[in-house]
Structure 1
Amino acid sequence: MKLKYNPGLYRRAVDAHRGLSRLRALRLRLMEHTYGRQWSDLITTDDGRILSEYDHALESGMRPLTNNLLRSLVKSIVGRFRYNLSAAEKPDGSEELTAFRKANQLDELDSRCLEEFLISGCVIQKLVCERRPGSPLAVWADNICPDDFFVNRFSDPRGADVRIIGHFFRVSLAELKLRFGHGSASRCAMLERCYANSSGFNATDHAAVCHVAEVWNFDIDPAAPADDPHWHCRFMAPNGTVLDETRSTLPSGGHPYAFKFYPLTDGKVHPFIEDLIGQQKHINILITMIDHILANSAKGVLLMPMDAIMPESDIRDVSRVWSRPGGVIPVNPAARMMPQEVSVSSGASRDASQLLDAEMKLFQQISGVSGALQGQLQASNVSASLYESQINNSAIALLDIYESFNSFRCVRDSIAAEMINTISH
């Protein structure tokens, strides 16, 4: 039996993936800034050259410095989430669902998902029912990288208007045959031929990488009752060959992906971290400016008239004694001018420091995360009740993020419960 061929559906999947290109580019930028590469944006200089902000700062004679508040902010929010998990009572649900949570180490998995959610504004998991090494048949939750994920443009925050969804993944030729060969030598040979024409692919190399698309699309089967629409899954090669296909086994007829884009406005995502990039960059610029001013200001410079140096000394002796604590420099009393120290207190440095302090406060106001929530020590005159109030206010400011993320977890658990019931029956 020949493999089926459906290039039109594969093109739809590729088009859906391209439709998320802006989100992927934004995610990459926000990831770089969150993890410390905060001078990586490109700028155009006055003479038309394109340089990174880092290189431009170096050319300007400054030393680019980074005070990474974004990473600290993300860690604080994820830490509060884990604290809430540990402080909460055991979640409701059947023993099977509790076993699912334990087997998948969902507290750890969800913490990493929340980190992704804060940075990129999206979180994606796929539920699958299968046997894995060392485990019986069970339901597994896997995080899906947004770079591999695709979905049609949708505007409903619940994803009710999604019609095609899936992700791209890579497997070895040996695994490809194991998963889609169905134990048939002739079918395995067809799979080899399917990938033989792929660029750089060697059919004799069982470790060769095979690119596969898992495509779920919403079908209305003419042979089925009119009120029985369902999701159809096809595993596809890059040339449109259908490696395998199946209909949704869930009682609801749904697809196995749980995902959430936040906040979804007009079909576009505007991540939490995106609002703070401008403040973070300005803080880095101010710190670099203060460092540059201090490094180039006169500090503790000694003006030593040559006729004030005693005959038995020279300027090197004076320099050596001047740098020594408690040193005494003999001076010629007949000199026209006595030695004096020059130490410049820069007003520009003070102004930059005040602006930096204002920027740090703005950063907290925009993020909604106070120093109390981050565990920072407060002034001695701050009462315990006020400190607790600051923590609660920050928690309220983040409530929308937490609740949106929890709605994703509820959808995930609902799909898992459907799969568990399918196994049990």
Structure 2
Amino acid sequence: MKEKLRIAQECWAKMAAYRQERERCKRYTYGRQWDDPVTIDGETMSEAEYIRRQGSVPLKNNLIRRLVRNVIGVYRSQAEQHRCVARDPDEQPLADVMTNVLQCNMQLNRMDEVYARTLEELLIGGLVAHRKSFGWRNDRVDCWTDYVSPTAFFVDSDMHDFRGWDAQYVGELHDLSFGELCARFAHTTADYKRLRDIYAEAADNDSLAATWHDFGGQGDFPASFFLPSRQGACRVVELWYKDRRPRLRCHDRRNGNAYKTELGDLAAIEAENAVRKKNGDPEITTEWFIDNLWRYALLSPTGHVIEEGETPYAHHSHPYVFLAYPFIDGEVHSFVSDVIDQQRYVNRLITLQDWMIRSSAKGVLLFPEECLPEYASAQDIADEWARYNGVIFLKTKNNTVMPQQVNASTANTGIAELLNMQLGFFEDISGVSDALQGKVAFAGTSAQLYNQQTQNAKLSLLDMLDSFRNFTTEAAYKDLKNIVQYYDEPRVFNIAGHQPDTLRRIIYDPLRMRDVEMDLRVES
């Protein structure tokens, strides 16, 4: 399994450039906007440090954070939900039951908040992922949704399909405490002892590094792939990969069903065909083919196999739902990255304005030396000049310049015009206009016109929000499949009624639900 560990490590390493760009966008979003490195006279330092060494103050005006909040506000204001639609109209009442069950599961996982934070991640980094699973949590067994950090998520770099259908590898790095590790993977005493032996060695960083060098030699890969992010944690590498297996593609001509089965079922199919041939019924045709299937491996950083097998899910895929935007030619470009240059220029302008104000003359007194009286010093003149109702006696000569106070003006430097221009660029590039931000309209603007401006402003965000809506639909579809698969006993759900303080009782029957073909529809 060290080969699988190497594949996972390569997939994670090839996303290093993306993780660096995401970290930069995150810094700009949350206010650390002077941390980009610069090299001056052979010394590398942050821009903030360089500005401080020049005697100035690195100021910032965080406009990106406001844009992100506005887009999230637009998403939250839409208040959409998923509704199950049966392909057979007669089965729509069962689909309505599944709609309520799906909504209960989303409330259980607090999906309103999860989706809002996931959209924020999409705006910042351009890549989001969720993991769908079934098991015990919070003293109950149910279907669960976990947010996956892009710093721990990886997918193969050869993927170019917007939908992710051509992915060959996908996985995640887990950092678990030893108790969490045993609760998840130790099913017997022998499993517990084996995990203790594996991670007793993995806790030793020196031993772990030596194991990697012996396996793959010296490499410039980041060590954080093998070492946990916190002390005392156990790193588990979860890898899902496509495998190949010979199978039979079958077509039952009696009922029109097409399905695939294992080679070992060929004898049973031939026996069934013999009976059908005798009765004059249409037979089952078979075709040998190579089938692609998803398998998984849970590995320790030293290459030990903790758990492996074929996908246990009825949807025959991996448990992840992910979205990379816009993913043209496999490239990820986030919403925040489009306005970083404008944010940098705004910060430079306000820092320059502050420097000019601090370094310009403000009330400087020009006092000729020949006018200085004998009874007073320069400090006495300065104090008297600044005192209220102060009096200074001077003896002047012909053509002597009188004392005067100088104030330098910075109003005509053009910085204000440049700032206004950059703020306009912010709106043009991001598509978040004044109307979408809820700013007060100009005098004389009608309510109808202002509402139309707000609707027009949403058009620039429509593509990204629709892509995120498709992501939520795909996530709900996997929830739906997991519910149908794992809810194997009847369940009773109490649903709030339309009238206050009323409840409706809904009974979920797994035997009836498994035969219903349903689609998902997003409704406001």
Match of 1:354 among 395, 398, 417: 417
Q: 1:303 to 1:329 in 2, by over 3 A?
A: farther
2: CA distance, partners of 1:302 / 1:386: 55
Match of 1:151 among 150, 155, 161: 155
* 1:8 pairs with 2:3: yes
How many residue pairs get aligned? The number is 408
Match of 1:343 among 379, 393, 407: 407
2: CA distance, partners of 1:397 / 1:268: 20
Coordinate RMSD, CA, aligned: 2.5
Match of 1:64 among 53, 58, 61: 58
Structure 1 segment 25-104 matched on structure 2, within 5 A:
25-45=20-40, 47-85=41-79, 88=80, 91-93=82-84, 94-104=99-109
Match of 1:124 among 121, 126, 129: 129
SS of the residue corresponding to residue 202 of structure 2 reads: coil
1: CA distance, partners of 2:129 / 2:391: 72
* 1:140 pairs with 2:134: no
1: CA distance, partners of 2:302 / 2:63: 46
SS of the residue corresponding to residue 3 of structure 2 reads: helix
The aligned residue for residue 221 of structure 1 is 245
Q: TM-score, normalised by structure 1?
A: 0.88
The aligned residue for residue 421 of structure 1 is 484
Match of 1:194 among 192, 198, 213: 198
Q: 1:380 to 1:305 in 2, by over 3 A?
A: farther
1: CA distance, partners of 2:380 / 2:442: 48
Structure 1 segment 261-276 matched on structure 2, within 5 A:
261-276=324-339
The aligned residue for residue 209 of structure 1 is 233
Q: TM-score, normalised by structure 2?
A: 0.72
1: CA distance, partners of 2:448 / 2:406: 49
1: CA distance, partners of 2:460 / 2:351: 31
* Identity value in percent: 33
2: CA distance, partners of 1:118 / 1:327: 60
Q: Which string of whole-angstrom CA distances, capped at 9 and with x for unpartnered residues, describes residues 301-356 of structure 1? A: 233446667888765565446546x6454554856443322112236x53122112
2: CA distance, partners of 1:341 / 1:189: 85
Q: What displacement does 1:159 show?
A: 0.3
Q: Which string of whole-angstrom CA distances, capped at 9 and with x for unpartnered residues, describes residues 241-275 of structure 1? A: 22112432332211110100011011121111112
Q: What displacement does 1:295 show?
A: 0.8
2: CA distance, partners of 1:276 / 1:370: 14
Q: What displacement does 1:41 show?
A: 0.9
The aligned residue for residue 161 of structure 1 is 166
| Preserved CA contact (<8 Å) 2:246 2:291 | no
2: CA distance, partners of 1:350 / 1:375: 32
| Preserved CA contact (<8 Å) 1:151 1:166 | yes
Unmatched runs of 5 consecutive residues or more in structure 2: 85-98, 208-230, 248-260, 263-288, 489-524
Q: 1:199 to 1:56 in 2, by over 3 A?
A: same
* 1:373 pairs with 2:452: no
The aligned residue for residue 92 of structure 2 is none
* 1:21 pairs with 2:16: yes
| Preserved CA contact (<8 Å) 1:318 1:329 | no
Of the structure 1 ranges 378-387 and 367-376, higher mean CA displacement relative to structure 2 is found in 378-387
Q: 1:82 to 1:8 in 2, by over 3 A?
A: same
Letter in 1 for 2:26: M
The aligned residue for residue 3 of structure 1 is none
2: CA distance, partners of 1:196 / 1:396: 56
Higher strand share: 2
Q: Which string of whole-angstrom CA distances, capped at 9 and with x for unpartnered residues, describes residues 207-228 of structure 1? A: 9422111111122333654486
Q: What displacement does 1:298 show?
A: 1.1
| Preserved CA contact (<8 Å) 1:309 1:331 | no
Of the structure 1 ranges 219-228 and 364-373, higher mean CA displacement relative to structure 2 is found in 219-228
SS of the residue corresponding to residue 351 of structure 2 reads: helix
Letter in 2 for 1:197: E
| Preserved CA contact (<8 Å) 2:245 2:290 | no
Q: 1:216 to 1:384 in 2, by over 3 A?
A: same
Q: 1:400 to 1:306 in 2, by over 3 A?
A: same
Q: Which string of whole-angstrom CA distances, capped at 9 and with x for unpartnered residues, describes residues 384-425 of structure 1? A: 334333322221111111111111111100000000111223
Mark the structure with the bigger radius of gyration: 2
Unmatched runs of 5 consecutive residues or more in structure 1: 1-5
Match of 1:292 among 343, 355, 363: 355
* 1:279 pairs with 2:270: no
Q: 1:196 to 1:65 in 2, by over 3 A?
A: same
2: CA distance, partners of 1:200 / 1:265: 42
2: CA distance, partners of 1:193 / 1:334: 96
Letter in 1 for 2:468: F
Q: What displacement does 1:236 show?
A: 1.3
2: CA distance, partners of 1:76 / 1:179: 40
Larger RCO, structures 1/2 (Cα 8 Å, 6+ apart): 2
